Structure formats: structure tokens, C-alpha cells
Amino acid sequence: MPPDKRSSDGPEVLRPILDVSRETVDRLTVLVELVRKWQPAENLVAPSTLPDIWRRHVADSAQLVPLFPSARRWLDLGSGGGFPGLVLGCLLADRPGAAVHLVESNGRKCAFLRRAAAATGSPVTVHQGRIKSILAGWDTPIDCLTARALAPLDRLLDLSEPILAAGAPAAFFKGADFVREIDEATQSWDLDLVEHKSRIDDRGVILEIRQALRRDAGERPA
Ligand SMILES: C[S@@+](CC[C@H](N)C(=O)[O-])C[C@H]1O[C@@H](n2cnc3c(N)ncnc32)[C@H](O)[C@@H]1O
């Protein structure tokens, strides 16, 4: 499909975020073309965001890499159409030891994720199933856990607990309502977190969770 003529959306939107090689742009271009091709049948992203796919999805996902520059082994929960997981795979494909694990319960989305990983030559493994059951038996070291548009913070912490408990940080994409979500989550969790202002969404943040300890029922804040 030709580029959308109404927008100036393209690989150049990555420039303020990180330097990418020609080969990486080629991999990301293959990914974007596949999302456009599969979108009518699989509804991989909100239709209104498709004309700005490089900015709204690719660059949005890519901002994780400079936040966690030494992370090589990533785990993305609820990967859907592959954001941020497939973008991380494309960006890290040349990095020795890179591995990106995607967890997704929907079989058709998993078929897309596997197809896109193969087409882009990305170091991606797709795990089909419910997050709770897949993480219950997880024993692969992870440097950073991610989730975007999956669940409220409180629920994300619950889902991510086995990986956080093993010492990995988490990066959760959150919109304008993030303060309320933090307030709610801290009823049940003692959090060491950093708010990174999103470089794509004026009102959004990437919440870096460095540590999350479940509070006992008796020690909830007033
Ligand atoms: C709204 S989509 C977001 C997809 C992608 N992260 C993005 O930002 O475009 C949420 C995805 O999480 C998956 N999902 C939701 N709950 C899940 C669970 N408990 N286990 C595995 N996948 C789940 C859904 O099937 C869906 O594809």
C-alpha cells in the first residue's frame, strides 16, 4: 500500500528518539507494511491511528530503547498487533544476545506476530496463552518487562509479579489518567517508580517500575 499522502508519517519520525541503521529502517518498513496488510482482517491497531503508524506506534514503542539502553532480553505482555514487542525485535535484531518474548492469548494475533517476526528477521518468540499461566512457569532471565494498552496499573502489577519479583524492571505505557492509576495501585503495592514523560503522547508517560512489593492487608495507606 502506498504511503498515506495526507500525513508526513514515515521513518524520519524516529530521528529525535534514536539513531537507526538502514537495515533497521528496512525491517521496520516490512513490519509497517504487514500491519497495513493485515489490519482490515485483524484490526491490529485503532483504525484512526493507521495514517500515523510510524509516530503513534513505531516511535512510541522505540522510546523504550534509550530508557533501558543495556536491556537485551525483553518480555512484552498482551502484544496484540506487536507494539511495542515487534518494534523492539526490529530495533535489537543486530544486538548480540537480544531476545524479545511476546505473550498473547489471541490465536490470530499470534499468527500475525509469528509471521511478522519471520518476515523482519527479528529475535522474537511468541508465547500463546494467558499471561498468568505462561508466567507461572517462566524461568528465562528478563532485563525489562513491557505492557502497552493492556490493563490498569494495579492489574499490570498483579500480572507481572513473577518477573518483578525476580528483579526485572517494568515499563508500562500509560495515558493521561496515570496519576489516578498510581493512587489506586499504591493501595495494594509499595512502589519504587519513575515517570518518564512520553515523547509521543503529550499527556502520557512510561512508568518505570523498579520495585513493587505487595502490601499486607493491614498496612494499606489511609
Ligand atoms: C488492547 S490490545 C494492546 C496490544 C498492543 N500492546 C498495543 O499496544 O497495540 C491488548 C492485547 O492483550 C491481549 N490480552 C489481554 N489480556 C490478556 C491475557 N490475560 N493474557 C494474554 N493476552 C492478553 C489481548 O488479546 C490483546 O491482543
Consult the annotation and say whether 83 binds a ligand. yes
Nearest CA to ligand 1 atom 20: 130
Q: Which CATH number belongs to the domain containing residue 200 in this structure?
A: 3.40.50.150
ipTM: 0.99
Position 150 pLDDT exceeds 60: yes
Q: Is the CB of 104 under 6 A from ligand 1?
A: yes
Q: Is the CB of 60 under 6 A from ligand 1?
A: no
Q: What is the pLDDT of residue 74?
A: 98
Task: Summarize the confidence of residues 152-175 as an average pLDDT.
Answer: 98
Does 5 fall in a domain? no
Q: Tell whether pTM > 0.90.
A: yes
Mean pLDDT of the chain: 95
Consult the annotation and say whether 203 binds a ligand. no
Does 1 fall in a domain? no
Does 87 fall in a domain? yes
Does 219 fall in a domain? no
Tell me the residue range of the domain where 78 lies: 11-213
Question: What confidence tens digit (pLDDT) does each residue in 32-73 have?
Answer: 999 999 999 999 999 999 999 999 999 999 999 999 999 999
Q: What angle do CA 200, 206, 208 make, to 5 degrees?
A: 155
Q: Is the CB of 203 under 6 A from ligand 1?
A: no
User: In 10 A of CB 132, how many CB atoms?
Assistant: 11
How many structural domains comprise the chain? Answer: 1
Q: What is the pLDDT of residue 118?
A: 98
Does 6 fall in a domain? no
Does 200 fall in a domain? yes
Does 3 fall in a domain? no
Task: Summarize the confidence of residues 125-136 as an average pLDDT.
Answer: 98
Q: What angle do CA 56, 58, 63 make, to 5 degrees?
A: 95
Position 3 pLDDT exceeds 70: no
Q: What is the pLDDT of residue 173?
A: 98
> Binning pLDDT at 50, 70 and 90, where does residue 8 land?
confident
> Binning pLDDT at 50, 70 and 90, where does residue 4 land?
very low
Does 170 fall in a domain? yes
Q: Is the CB of 101 under 6 A from ligand 1?
A: no
Consult the annotation and say whether 137 binds a ligand. no
Closest to 199 measured CA to CA, from 26, 67, 53: 67
Residues contacting 27, CB < 8 A, separation 6+: 90, 93, 120, 121, 122
Question: What confidence tens digit (pLDDT) does each residue in 64-121 have?
Answer: 999 999 999 999 999 999 999 999 999 999 999 999 999 999 999 999 999 999 999 9
